[in-house]
Amino acid sequence: MDEPAQASDGQARRKPPLAPGLHIVATPIGNLRDITLRALDVLQAADLIACEDTRVFAKLASHYGIAVPTVAYSDATQDDAEPRLLRALAAGKRVALVSDAGMPLISDPGYRLVRAALAGGYFVTAAPGASALPMALALSGLPTDRFFFGGFLPGREGERRRAIAAAANVPATLVFFEAPHRLGPSLADLADLLGPRPAAIARELTKLFEEVRRGPLDELARHYAGQPDVKGEIVLVIGPPDRAAAPGPGALDEALRLAMAGASVKDAAAEVAARYGLQRREVYARALELKRGMTA
């Protein structure tokens, strides 16, 4: 357990020194006051801070008076930054890793650095904090006992539909991140493949214009189709499949295409029919139609 900020006699205790190694630090997803006291302790005591974007971190650093050297560590810069960070760890330095918002590594850079630090035998720990993922789940009104996080949906339509179809039968609440300009097309594909499942769109969490819109996927798709200029960070939360409900035509076709990519028409139809509890003969007939269309 962390030591309390004050001793029982009311006197402030000295903070324990920060151990050498890699410290993964969560930063606010919007509201700057959501940073933890421990995160501030770590960032102020670090020798070097690896940031997804140093300009974004500079705003947080300025607000809390953090004056520590920084290095850019993103998908584009990690090849150059990683050797420097590992040299710092080898020299016994205290290195903090932050992303632009929320918990590093959750659809953000950091995995490679953590893996390299562990391989080098360096101490690795984390100061947890804000994350859009659990917050959106908590606000969605959907089951939270089991969930599947799929990161960002692919930008290309075909890849996106395949990703949705692959997750369609997961017996859990689905959670995806999405970019504002792709929200409309993604919701259209989700509604087509998953049917009218209950869902929630969480946007601008912890910020001034925070919004959580809840409803069936088809209704949400229609709503956001008429709002092409929606802004902000977005989390999609979708209820688990209803075992009593048959899949929509789009979901069935996509499941068959995926199955036929690695199996015969007969075996693919049998697999999909068993998955959804459908008549094998009907699914096989549909698989033949799709196969003819694919080879035409």
pLDDT at 269 over 70: yes
Closest by alpha carbon to 104, among 179, 39, 46, 150?
Answer: 39
Report the alpha-carbon angle 125-131-134, nearest 5.
Answer: 110
Measured between alpha carbons, how far is 191 from 207 in angstroms, rounded to an integer?
28
Query: Quick check: helix, strand or coil at residue 232?
Result: coil
Cα separation of 192 and 221, whole Å? 10
Helix or strand holding residue 31 (H, E): none
Cβ within 8 Å of residue 290, ≥6 positions away: 253, 256, 257, 260
pLDDT at 8 > cutoff 60: no
Main-chain phi, psi angles of 48, to 5 degrees: -155, 140
The predicted model scores a pTM of 0.79
Task: Provide the 8-state DSSP code for 12.
Answer: B
Q: Annotate 263-285 with DSSP letters as a single string.
A: S-HHHHHHHHHHHHT--HHHHHH
Least confident of 114-128, 160-174, 255-269: 255-269
Contact (CB, 8 A) for 174 and 251: no
Contact (Cβ atoms closer than 8 angstroms) between residue 217 and residue 254: no
- What pLDDT shows up at residue 279? 79
How does pLDDT run across 119-158, given as a tens digit for each residue?
999 999 999 999 999 999 999 999 999 999 999 999 999 8
User: 144-147 — which CB contacts under 8 Å span 24+ positions?
Assistant: 144/173, 146/171, 146/172, 146/173, 146/240, 147/172, 147/173, 147/174, 147/175
Residue 1 pLDDT:
44
Q: Give the whole-angstrom CA distance, residue 195 versus residue 227.
A: 21
CA distances, 174 to each of 44, 64, 83, 248, 281 (Å): 37, 36, 37, 17, 30
Best CA proximity match to 76, nearest among 43, 54, 45, 48: 54
What would the pLDDT profile of 98-123 be if each residue is shown by its tens digit? 999 999 999 899 999 999 999 999 99
Q: How many residues does the chain have?
A: 296
List strands edge to edge, sheet with 173-178: 147-152, 173-178, 234-238, 198-203, 211-216
What pLDDT sits at residue 280? 80
Rounded to an integer, what distance in angstroms lies between the CA atom of residue 44 and that of residue 295? 62
